[in-house]
């Protein structure tokens, strides 16, 4: 267990000064790598749930672009990375 705790602390130190988008992506990637599924909605149908989360994500990106025009490049890079990860997951599951 100590090796795992140390690895997590090392990862946290490596991203602690990064923009929040990078820290969020790192957390998501770690959770995905170990098979954690976050339940961010009360909708029980998985297709409706992912649609709702996607709509929320798109809204958040649009809001960030409007509220933080000086960070447009960062926001677009973060959004791009999410899309790349999604397409990679779809390609992997398709076989």
CA distance 31 to 25: 10
Report which of 86, 83, 82 is spatially closest to residue 25, judged by C-alpha positions: 82
More confident residue, 43 or 81: 81
Mean pLDDT, residues 7-28 = 86
Report which of 79, 82, 83 is spatially closest to residue 62, judged by C-alpha positions: 79
pLDDT per residue as tens digits for the range 82-95: 888 888 888 887 77
pLDDT per residue as tens digits for the range 18-59: 888 888 888 877 877 776 655 556 777 878 877 887 888 888
Q: Is the pTM of this model over 0.85?
A: no
DSSP-assigned letters across all residues of 61-77? HHHHHHH-GGGHHHHHH
Instruction: Give the start-to-end residue ranges of the domains of the chain.
Output: 19-94
Q: Which residues contact 61 (CB under 8 A, 6 or more apart)?
A: 75, 78, 79
């Amino acid at each position: 267990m100590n090796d795992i705790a140390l690895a997590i602390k090392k990862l946290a130190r490596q991203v602690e000064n990064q923009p929040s988008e990078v820290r969020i992506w790192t957390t998501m990637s770690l959770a995905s790598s170990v098979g954690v599924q976050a339940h961010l909605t009360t909708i029980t149908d998985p297709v409706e749930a992912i649609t709702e989360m996607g709509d929320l994500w798109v809204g958040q990106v649009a809001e960030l672009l409007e509220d933080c025009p000086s960070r447009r490049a960062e926001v677009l890079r973060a959004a791009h990375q999410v899309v790349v990860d999604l397409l990679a997951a779809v390609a992997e599951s398709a076989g």
